[in-house]
Structure 1
Amino acid sequence: MQTQNITRWLTLAVISISGGISFDLAYLRYIYQIPMAKFMGFSNTEIGIIMSTFGITAILLYAPGGIISDKFSHRKVMSGAMIATGLLGAVMATYPPLWAMLLIQVAFAITTILLLWAVSIKAASLLGTRDEQGKIMGWMEGLRGVGVMGLALFTVWVFAQFHPDDPNSLKAVILIYSGTYIALGIACWFLVSDGFVPDEQEETSAFSLQHALQVLKMPTTWYCSMIIFGVYTIYAILSYSTNYLSEIYGMSLVAASYMGIIINKVFRAICGPLGGMVTSYSRWRSPTRVIQFFAAICLVVVALLYMVTRTPVSLALAIGLILLMGFTCYASRGLYFACIGEVNTPKQILGTTIGICSVIGFLPDVFVYPIVGYWQDALPPALAYRNMWVMGGIASLMVLLFTALLMGQIKRISPAASTAPVKGV
């Protein structure tokens, strides 16, 4: 029993870290935009086009990826996708021309979104019972953060060992990511199970269409999607917290950057597991209820931020409020896919549900940044950020509403319907 438990947590770590760092080469611009322009010969506009190519392709692939996670072996898909991503990175390290780089980004979207995203979430979900979904998903988000942060720090250190004008510096970073992907792909082959396999009757049916329609007809799909939508909106707004502290309170860019690291890297690593612990050890033991509680706190926080933006009084207070908002957001991010398992979504359509919820839930990526950017350009800073906090308040209210609706569905579920771990996981 002890050996099985160790294997389960090791499997969760491999799944989580694979799913987390697999996007890092596609999003290489986040850390290495200047080296990309310098060594790969791209203009900033071309780098933007490269990024948007991945983003547009990704939106199209979330839902089909969910269907793949329901129909195919998780072990084979994850192993193949990670190894393929590593090989694409090796091609990227040759510094290809723009047209080839765009094709690589499309291929990255196929390997990471179509093949890995929903598969990794479903594979992790199947490692626990219905009652363990909050703990499993919380630790998954935390382990993702640890993997992303650890590998990012290591590659930055390697990059710094080269002369500033040495083009091999960026190449070394890309190859480290590629090698890590391939190693994790091999680990997935030995640790990840095949996952849930539909019976013969289901397998001979019009799988993708019937299951997609079944998922879309379920009210819980829409409730879970809108919970993710609201939390993800707050997550997008948080990315402007460093700008806010700099423009409204005059915080130095260096100090603001450190705040960004704490919120985007450190909080991602620790808040997901903490949220899972709340579901495991509090009297609620419900991811949905815990997200609802965090949304209520977030609503109060954004209301206070709105007020202190009108009359800035204390930088320390603003920092404290933003850190509290960051905690509630990242803890909720570690739990929102657990809602899908908590509501007893049938395992044969779990992946399809994850895919469809991802398409709807991650739509704030499309509108939050241009809207807030427009406010920053067109309005005085105080008014722009007050508008942003209003958007955060609306998102918090949305989470409160749809968690309440989902809790109503959960109460109607018989305790006898709780799912058990899949055999062999």
Structure 2
Amino acid sequence: MNPSSSKITTSKILELSLLILAGESIFFLPFVIARVFRPTFLSVFEITNLELGSLYSIYGIIAMVSYFFGGPLADRISPRILLAIALVSTAVGGFIMAFADSISYLSYLYGFWGLTTILLFWAALIKATRSIGGHRFQSRAFGFLEGGRGFIAAFVSTLAVGVFAYYLPDGQDSPTLYDQQMAFRNVIFFFSGWVAIVGLLIFFFMNKSGTNTAYKNKPVSLGQIREIANTPNIWFQAIIVVCAYVGYKVTDDFSLLAKEVLDFSDVASAQVGTLALWMRVVTAIIAGVVADKIGAASKVISWGFLLMVLCGLGIGSGLLIGSSAVFYIVTILVTCLGVYSVRGLYFTLIQEANISSSITGTTVGLISVIGFTPDIFMGPLMGYLLDENPGALGHQYVFLVLAGFGLIGWLANYLYRRTKPLVQTDA
């Protein structure tokens, strides 16, 4: 074992901090902005939930190909270069988005973001995080990555809500579409500028952080790829990621539920979406600490899936219809406990499966090709359910989907725990 893996040094803390900053900022434009401002996003661009879902599908299709090729790329090239280029190019797309006036422009942008955020970015982020965690702190490294990303998302989104409210005219309960468009354009500028600055920080400071993971490995062979593919735990992990990511996509519905079911204003609805992001901070960090203490992230993942099932059934069954907003908000927050505990830990299962560190990027790529397929189907599915079933009923159906995938995820995790790893790690 590498001695450095037995402790967290100052240089590793700095490295992880930079990864946290980059790891969430890259997704502000394609995902967070629509999650927090979903009602406004639909109104400003004059699109339906289904059309928004189609944008996510375009992103997801490009991302599927990018996951496969991005994994080996991350095993060959320094993350500083990959992450910096990804962030700056994503930000350029954001500045273009501010002037988009049709869904056609948005379609091209989401396809472009599928390349910049995945091909250049995703596997490099996960590989670098695994290196920092080593053997003793694997769950904590990923828990802090997810929790820290949640903090960045919540903090920056809170600022963005303030920007949005500032640019809306005072004294208007129902601002005009033009007023919304102008205020929202400033929100897009804000997010784009933030992402570009983070890209520059990565480029100029990440190489000074001191983590020296080998990124100049020999090209991954077909034999190694077959070895990974023949590991049953990898396939169970891919299913776990699918189900967890469905839960994460359902969080996109929180602000719209607040608007349509609880009759909140645009600003208040955005605040509900932001509150869910703050839950991500605490949940993922606690999940990581607990998983390292008990020595098995898969146990914590089981608990997370059970919470997803219970909360999905709670709202999906219609039991909360007629209840006060407090019951809905509490259920949303408990849903966050389940979703973010699983999301914060699912890549630690690579370590439990004893996959060699030298092929982490390729392993992440293979898992992600399957694991993040919800990028393709969840957007259109949620859009169809919400558009075809106006009001509370559409949101109930969305939460029933959450419950169903939560159960599948729990079963996959159960099978994962019962299957012994087949390969040895050199980490």
Q: Please report the TM-score for the alignment, with normalisation by the length of structure 2.
A: 0.78
In structure 2, runs of 5+ residues without a counterpart are 169-178
Choose from 150, 153, 156 the match for 2:155.
150
Deviation at 1:93, TM superposition (A): 8.9
- Trace 1:179-258 onto structure 2 (pairs within 5 A): 179-191=197-209, 193=211, 195-197=213-215, 203=218, 207=220, 209-244=222-257, 247=260, 250-253=262-265, 255-258=268-271
Contact 2:81 2:203 in 1 (8 A): no
Larger Rg: 1
Choose from 3, 6, 9 the match for 1:5.
9
Aligned-residue identity in percent = 23
Deviation at 1:107, TM superposition (A): 4.8
Deviation at 1:223, TM superposition (A): 0.6
Between the two structures, name the one with larger relative contact order (CA 8 Å, sep ≥ 6): 2
Aligned mates of 1:166, 1:237 — CA distance in 2: 26
Deviation at 1:287, TM superposition (A): 1.0
The aligned counterpart of 1:300 is: 310
The aligned counterpart of 1:286 is: 296
Aligned mates of 2:257, 2:97 — CA distance in 1: 36
Contact 2:250 2:398 in 1 (8 A): yes
Counterpart secondary structure, 2:27: coil
| Counterpart check, 1:71 vs 2:76 | yes
Deviation at 1:20, TM superposition (A): 1.3
| Counterpart check, 1:389 vs 2:408 | no
| Counterpart check, 1:116 vs 2:121 | yes
In structure 1, runs of 5+ residues without a counterpart are 421-425
Deviation at 1:7, TM superposition (A): 1.4
Deviations 1:230-281 (A, max 9, x none): 1111222233244445555x44345444322211x21222221121122133
Deviation at 1:291, TM superposition (A): 0.4
Contact 1:129 1:419 in 2 (8 A): no
Choose from 372, 377, 398 the match for 2:387.
377
Which amino acid in structure 1 is aligned with residue 239 of structure 2? M
The aligned counterpart of 1:423 is: none
Aligned mates of 1:304, 1:405 — CA distance in 2: 26
- Trace 1:69-148 onto structure 2 (pairs within 5 A): 69-85=74-90, 88=92, 92=96, 106-148=111-153
Which amino acid in structure 1 is aligned with residue 124 of structure 2? V
Contact 1:93 1:171 in 2 (8 A): no
Deviation at 1:115, TM superposition (A): 1.3
Aligned mates of 1:273, 1:365 — CA distance in 2: 25
Deviation at 1:334, TM superposition (A): 0.7
- 1:54–1:387 Cα change, 3 Å: closer
Counterpart secondary structure, 1:309: coil
Deviations 1:84-110 (A, max 9, x none): 555x36974996998998766555433
Aligned mates of 2:256, 2:106 — CA distance in 1: 31
| Counterpart check, 1:342 vs 2:352 | yes
Contact 2:316 2:396 in 1 (8 A): yes
Aligned mates of 1:228, 1:278 — CA distance in 2: 20
- 1:162–1:17 Cα change, 3 Å: same
Aligned mates of 2:316, 2:163 — CA distance in 1: 42
Counterpart secondary structure, 2:362: helix
